[in-house]
């Protein structure tokens, strides 16, 4: 039997006779009185939990054993043919994402900054560094340090504090 439902919660636990941990979704089917545990199956090398409210396709493999291989989080797809994007989301909004593009490029971003833009800004600031003093006491000007500090603040917003 194939059904659809909405994710309303989850836990990481052992399923049945298994000794390995897995993601168990709480899926609401017809109404708030019909919430059942569903094992979330993703391919090897992946670790994910759908956002609450995501619609999932559920397969009943046997009596009382429900699994889901995928679903829809309500976010409009943006990838072109041959591309893949991995992202985190909250309330239907992409937060952090990595996209492999069909031209061979990789895009890394969050909802504030893109790595490509920050790298360009960093290279521009490095090329513009102004120094003063003799070779034994070389120093960077306050303006150059301030510009580099601003780029560092943006990197921290993308990756966390270094």
3-state secondary structure at position 113: coil
Residues 6+ apart with CB under 8 A from 98: 85, 86, 87, 106, 107, 108
Domains plus CATH for the chain?
2-72 (2.40.50), 75-111 (no CATH), 112-162 (no CATH)
The sheet carrying 106-109 orders its strands as: 84-90, 93-100, 106-109
For residue range 69-119, list pLDDT tens digits in order. 877 788 888 888 889 999 998 888 889 999 999 999 899 999 999 999 999
Burial class (CB in 10 A: 0-12, 13-18, 19+), 58: buried
Confidence band for 5, pLDDT divided at 50, 70 and 90: very high
Confidence band for 162, pLDDT divided at 50, 70 and 90: low
> Has this prediction a pTM greater than 0.95?
no
- Please give the radius of gyration of the chain, using alpha carbons only, rounded to the nearest integer: 23
């Amino acid at each position: 039997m194939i059904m659809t439902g909405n994710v309303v919660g989850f836990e990481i636990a052992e399923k049945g006779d298994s000794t390995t941990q897995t993601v168990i979704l709480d899926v609401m089917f017809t109404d708030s009185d019909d919430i059942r545990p569903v094992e979330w199956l993703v391919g090897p090398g992946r670790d994910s939990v759908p956002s609450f409210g995501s619609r999932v396709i559920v397969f009943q493999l046997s009596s009382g054993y429900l699994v889901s291989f995928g679903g829809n989080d309500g976010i409009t797809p943006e990838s072109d043919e041959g591309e893949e994007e991995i992202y985190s989301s909250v309330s239907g909004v992409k937060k952090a994402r990595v996209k492999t593009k069909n031209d061979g490029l990789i895009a890394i971003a969050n909802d504030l900054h893109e790595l490509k833009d920050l790298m360009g800004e960093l290279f521009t600031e490095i090329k513009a560094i102004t120094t003063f003093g003799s070779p034994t006491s070389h120093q960077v000007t306050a303006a150059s340090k301030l510009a580099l500090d601003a780029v560092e603040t943006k990197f921290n917003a993308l990756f966390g504090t270094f």
